[in-house]
Each structure stands twice: as C-alpha cells, then as structure tokens.
Amino acid sequence: MKQSIAAMVASPSGGKGCSVIVISSQLGLEGSPGYSAYAASKFAVRGLMSAAAQEYGPLGIRVNAICPGPIQTPLMADYTEEEMGPHIAKTSLGRVGQPEEIAATAVFLASEGGAYMSGASLKVDGGWSQWC
C-alpha cells in the first residue's frame, strides 16, 4: 500500500480521485473458533485500511476493504461437499460466492459510484455475518 499511495501522490492529480481497495474477510469482522490467527490477520488488514483512509483522505485518496465470506477460490478447492456444508448453511443465500462477485464490488468501490466511500468495510458474504 505504501508504494501505491506514493505513486498516487506523485501523479498529476496528487492522488485526488484515487482508490485503494484491500481484501480482508468476513472473519476480519467477527472471529470464529479455530481461526484465531487468520481472523487476527484480517482484523489487522481492516485496521490498516482505517488508518490509511484517515491519513490519505485529505489528499482525495479513498481506502476501503472488501470482507468476503466463503468464495469459490483455490483456497476452497480441496474442501469436500461435507466440509462446505456448514459454510453454506451459514449464508442466508444458501451458496458459496463467486470470485466475480468480489470483483464487481471492487469495480464499484473504484468507480464514481463509490466516490463518497472511504474507510468502509463491505461485507460480501451471502448473509453469513447476520448470524454472528
């Protein structure tokens, strides 16, 4: 992030209108038994985002986080249907998300539609976090 923001500040716009998007996790919003180290790392990502949003907002640089729930990625490729069951059951939509759904959220945050958003953590978790 440090190098990206330095390049934004050095650009002709001075950073105005630029956007930084970090990926945290639903577990970076609420911990979960058995995932304490992972949750701690994702809480840290959100802390970095929050501090950077405050620090660089005056320059016109927006910083936000996406907090995905279970998403069909290589990380989940080795999970059996039985192992995926509890994850799916926690989502009110009853399914695992797709990478394209996270990408669409990032596009929104980087677009004019997200121009007044900074310091936000967007949950893209199929409704999982409503149970936490």
Domain residue ranges in the chain: 2-131
Catalytic residue numbers, as ranges: 38, 42
DSSP letter, residue 114: G
CATH number of 2-131: 3.40.50.720
pLDDT in tens, 11-57: 999 999 999 999 999 989 988 889 899 999 999 999 999 999 999 99
The H or E element that residue 122 is part of is strand 121-124
Q: What is the pLDDT of residue 132?
A: 52
- pTM of this prediction? 0.92
Q: How far apart are CA 19 and CA 112, in angstroms?
A: 10
User: Where residue 131 falls among pLDDT bands split at 50, 70, 90?
Assistant: low
Q: How far apart are CA 129 and CA 132, in angstroms?
A: 5
